[in-house]
Chain A
Amino acid sequence: MPPNATASTPATAIAVDDLVVHRGGQPVLNSVSTRIAAGSVTGLLGPSGSGKTTFIRAIVGTQKVRSGTVEVLGHPAGTKPLRRRVAYVTQDASIYPDLSVKANVAYFAALYGRSRSEAMTAIERVGMGDHAHKLAANLSGGQKTRTSLACALVIEPEVLVLDEPTVGLDPVIREELWDQFRTLAKQGATLLVSSHVMDEADRCDRLLLLREGRFIADDTPADLRASTGTANLEAAFLHLIRELEKAN
C-alpha cells in the first residue's frame, strides 16, 4: 500500500503539465494539465475521438509526446521504476488469443514474480473462474476485457489505468467491477478510468471532461452539477459545451 494512503491531504499520484500530443500531423491533445490525487478514482470522459486513449497512453508512457511533462508517482511516465507499479488495461483486450484465460493471467503474473494461485485469485475477482481453462479466442468481448483486467489486477498496481473497461459488459458485472475499483482506491491505489458513458461518471471522485483535445472540466461530480446548475452530468457536459461554443 502506498505510504501516503493515510495522509490528510492526499498526495498527487499523477501530474500532467502542458501536455501536447500530435498524431499524423494533427493536434490530439492541446496543452492539457491536471493533478490526480492518490487513492482516488478519476473518470476520463469524452466522446470517442476526443483524445482519451492518447491521454491514457501518455500516462503509461507508450505515447510519443510533443511537449509537456507527465509524472506518475514522482517519476517521468513510462520509466523503469514505474513498470512494476503501474498497470494499463487497453481498450481492446491485450491478451493472447491462443492461450487460455489462466495461461494469460499466469504469464503476466509471472512477469512480476506472482504465483499461479495469485493469478487464479485475480481470475475469480473478475468473475472468470468458470472460464479459466477456455482459450481467450473463444471468449465474448466482455469476457476478454475481464481477462485483460485480471492480468492487470494480479500485480496489485499502485496506479491502474483503464481504457473503457466496461464497454459491452453485463450491468451486474459492471456494478461489481466498479465496486472493485472503489475498494482498490480505498486501499490506496489510484485509478484513472476512461468512459464515454455518462452514467459511470457519478461513481468517480473526480471527473476530467475531454473534448477536442482539451479539458473542459476538471472537478468533482457534485461541484460540476452545482457550477452548471444541472441535475445530471450529461446535462452538465452539454452545458459546458454550449458555453464554450458561445464564447467562440
Chain B
Amino acid sequence: MSLRITFITAGRILRQLLGDRRTVVLILAVPSLMIALISAIMDAAPEAFNSVGLILLAFFPFMMMFMITSITLLRERTGGTLERLMTTPTGKLDLVGGYAIAFGVAAASQTAIAASVAYLFLGLETAGPAWAVFLIAIIASLFGMALGLFVSAFATTEFQAIQFMPVFVVPQLLLCGLIWPRDQMAGWLQGVSDALPITYAVKALTEVQVNAEITSAMWGDVAVVAAAALVATALGAATLRRRTN
C-alpha cells in the first residue's frame, strides 16, 4: 500500500471521469431532478417527502457508485489494464483506494448538489444537521463502490454488470423502509431487511430526521454501514488477482 500510488490512481480515474462530460452532467444533475420529481409528486404531503426525499439523498450516491464502479472495473478487467497494473508497483489496495477517493469525490459532489437542492428549494426538513445526512450519504456511496467492485468480478460483459443492479441494489431499496414500513413487513422479510446494509443507512437518516442532536443510535447505524463497506472492499480486493488463468 502506497499513499502516493493511491493518489496517482485516483487522479487518473478522475481524469477519465472528467473527460466524459455527459456522464459528469448525469452524475451531478440526475439525483436532484429525481428528488425534485418526488417532491412534486408528494406536493400534498410534505411529511412524506421529508422521509422519502431524505432516503433518496443517500440512496442515489449508493446506486451511482455501484453502477460506475462495476462498469469501470469491468473495463479494467476486460481491457487488460488491470493485468498490466498488477505487473506494476500498484498494490490491490492502492487501486481500490484510488477508486474510493475518485468516486468518493464524485459522490460527494453529487450529494452536495442534491442536498442543497432538497434543503433550499424543495423544503426538505430534518431536525438534525445536514452534515450528518451528507456523512451518511458518503458512507452509503462507499459501500456502493465496494459492492460494485466485488460484483464486477462476476460479470464478463457490461451488459451483465448492468443486470446485477436489480440483484444487488433494488432489493435494498425495496426492503429499507422506503416504499413500505419495515415493521409492517412479514417477519422473514424483516429478517432479510435487517441483513441489508442500506437498511442501517435509512435508520441513521431517520435518527437525523427526528432528533435535533446527533444520537448514539445514529453512530451505531453508520458504523454498521461502514463495516459493511469495509467487508465488501476486502471481498472486492480479493477478486483482484495477480495471477489468472
Contacts and interface: CB of A to CB of B under 8 A. Distances in A.
Contacts of A62: 83, 86-87, 242-244
Nearest to A152: B84
Interface in A78-112: 78, 83-84, 86-88, 90, 92-99, 103, 107-108, 110-112
B16 A108 contact: no
A88 B84 contact: yes
B16 A98 contact: yes
A83 B87 contact: yes
Interface residues of A, number: 31
Contacts of A97: 79
B109 interface: no
A113 B7 CA distance: 12
B80 interface: yes
A113 B90 CA distance: 12
Interface string B78-120: 0111011011111000000000000000000000000000000
A209 to B, nearest CB: 25
A24 B15 CA distance: 38
7 contacts: A63-B245, A83-B87, A94-B81, A95-B81, A99-B12, A107-B12, A111-B8
- The 6 A-B pairs of least Cβ separation, nearest first, read A94-B80, A94-B84, A107-B12, A110-B8, A64-B243, A88-B87
Given A96-B16, A99-B16, A135-B19, 16 more contacts: A24-B245, A60-B87, A62-B86, A78-B87, A78-B242, A83-B88, A86-B87, A90-B80, A94-B80, A95-B81, A96-B81, A97-B79, A108-B88, A111-B8, A112-B88, A151-B84
